[in-house]
Amino acid sequence: MGICEGRTVIITGAARGLGRAYALAFAAEGANVVVNDIGASLGGEGRDTSAADGVVAEIVAAGGQAVANYEDITDWDAAKRIVDAAVAAFGDLHVVVNNAGIVRDRMFVSATLDEWDATMHVHLRGHFCVARHAVDYWRGKQKAGINPDARIINTTSGAGLQGSIAQAAYSTAKGGIAALTLVQAAELGRYGITANALAPAARTRMTEQAFAEKMATETAAFDAMDPANVAPTVVWLGSGASAHVTGCVFELEGGKIMLEDGWREGPYVDPGARWEPSDVGGAVDTLLAARVAPRKVWGSA
């Protein structure tokens, strides 16, 4: 019996890359899987339902349970239909893995409003809509005296945690998702819901375009960039065994599981009085000399 036996999980963007790896891994551990994907291009254009159908066929052929779903996660009513579809197909819902996303890489000086809005729409609104309807469902269970033992698993990125050259919109959206996760964890524990986030590094359509050299590990003894390497931690976070873990951000790459330490208060000076503007510079220089060196923005020197 797998660690997710009988649990039902919605995975957005589940037709390719990381989402597909998650879907297969959850199913292998006994979960019922809703494979949500509209089949869009990397930039969010177009529709292709065959992509989700193919993952469902793989799961069913291996003896698992899955249904395809082609609803748009950014549409409020459609997002509710995703939750409803999970309950209709499998009688319950336990896990939402918010994985779907797009990228519109552009140096900030050339970025357009449409690219910015599209990126925020898919990442931030998409994370909000599906989870918000799932929380309504789980709160209803909790009010009826049933512990939902539920999980929200969000997707941030190294770009969101430290920034990435030519990815201002993507980095901003992913940073927002990390902050959203902290708030969800703080607010939703009373309903039996945990919230955690992942910053995965793996070979996908998105990363092959931006980090081709880093992603080329297929011929190594251990293919560190295989998306399947990330899946075991995601499955465990979706299981009943992870109920004590919430409000965490994990960076995952190859066999590495790293817990992010987050923003913390650093060195400070306080004279107990108002500063003169001319004195602030010296204080800031003292703080800069005392701080822990920050991580570099991806792609910077």
Point out the residues that are catalytic. 157, 170, 174
Beta-strand runs (E) in 142-192: 150-155
The neighbour count for residue 199, using CB atoms within 10 Å, is 23
Q: Which tokens hold the place of 170? A: 């993507």
- Provide the CA 86 distance to its chain's centre, in angstroms: 20
Residues written for the chain: 301
Distances from the Cα of 98 to the Cα of 73, 182, 216, 223, angstroms: 9, 15, 26, 25
For CA atoms 204, 205, 207, 208, the dihedral sign is: positive
Nearest CA to 181 out of 233, 135, 226, 248 is that of 248
Distances from the Cα of 267 to the Cα of 4, 127, 162, 297, angstroms: 44, 34, 20, 22
How large is the angle between the packed helices 168-188 and 126-143, nearest 10 degrees?
10
Q: Which tokens hold the place of 28? A: 């292998």
* 28 within 8 A of 5, measured Cβ to Cβ: no
Task: Report the Cα–Cα distance between both ends of the chain, in Å, rounded.
Answer: 49
Distances from the Cα of 216 to the Cα of 211, 213, 252, angstroms: 9, 5, 17
* 63 within 8 A of 32, measured Cβ to Cβ: no
